[in-house]
Chain A
Amino acid sequence: NAGVTQTPKFRILKIGQSMTLQCTQDMNHNYMYWYRQDPGMGLKLIYYSVGAGITDKGEVPNGYNVSRSTTEDFPLRLELAAPSQTSVYFCASSYSPGQPYEQYFGPGTRLTVT
């Protein structure tokens, strides 16, 4: 049971490039989330998903896209990278409602856009 895994661990992008951050969970969680963490700040929600085929915007969705074709995977797409997207990105998952609302986090992807 690996929990939540993310790839890559680190990435440097040039302005205008695109990339996909991968996230996979093996806990059969319905709910998955993408956050970004900027220095000295808490985590901000980018997008979330309540199940395969269903996604919704969080607090800071601009510049990102997501898809959820399977329960296990929730990739985050950056189409035109900008310096403001330099951050650490965390993927998380959680059980369905009825359980405590704790989320399980991956180890993060550190992205630098120059």
Chain B
Amino acid sequence: AQSVTQLDSHVSVSEGTPVLLRCNYSSSYSPSLFWYVQHPNKGLQLLLKYTSAATLVKGINGFEAEFKKSETSFHLTKPSAHMSDAAEYFCVVSDRRDTGTASKLTFGTGTRLQVTL
């Protein structure tokens, strides 16, 4: 069984300040972890993924996330927020034991990032 908890439903930052979106996961096996972004009325776009290589993962648009097994966390960060970062962000876990079957993703409930001037 696997689950994801996004600790904040809403985060507000000023443009140019750091972003931190928190995610904790639970998985019976070695997980793959993802962050997806959803802009208003759009589909989901992959920001970055962790699949057992480097624990610090760099993604698109300056985002990165660090896999911490001891804390079962995969927090998303960005040094400096931009207005265009305003969107919904989903932390997602996939049980990599699913090799040979369709990968089933478990989604968190999302964090809405607001960026103010």
Within 8 A of B (CB), among A90-114: 90, 92, 94, 97-98, 100-108
For the complex, give the distance between the alpha carbons of A108 and B45 in Å. 12
Q: Which of chain A's residues have a CB closer than 8 A to the CB of B43?
A: 4, 90, 105-108
User: Which residue of chain A has its CB nearest to the CB of B109?
Assistant: A42
How many residue-residue contacts, CB under 8 A, span A and B?
68
Asked whether A42 lies within 8 Å of B102 as measured between CB atoms, the reply is: no
Instruction: Judge whether A43 is part of the interface by a CB distance below 8 angstroms.
Output: yes
Asked whether A102 lies within 8 Å of B101 as measured between CB atoms, the reply is: no
A40-B110, A41-B109 known; A102-B99 Cβ under 8 A: no
The minimal Cβ–Cβ distance linking A102 to chain B, given in whole angstroms, is: 5
A40-B109, A42-B108 known; A103-B103 Cβ under 8 A: yes
Q: What are 29 A-B pairs with beta-carbon distances under 8 A? A: A4-B43, A31-B102, A33-B102, A40-B109, A41-B109, A41-B110, A42-B90, A43-B44, A43-B90, A43-B107, A45-B104, A48-B102, A49-B102, A50-B101, A90-B43, A90-B44, A94-B103, A97-B103, A100-B49, A101-B32, A101-B51, A101-B96, A102-B34, A102-B46, A103-B105, A105-B36, A105-B44, A108-B42, A108-B43
- Chain B positions within 8 Å of A, measured between CB atoms, are 4, 9, 32, 34, 36, 41-46, 49, 51, 90, 92, 94, 96, 98-110
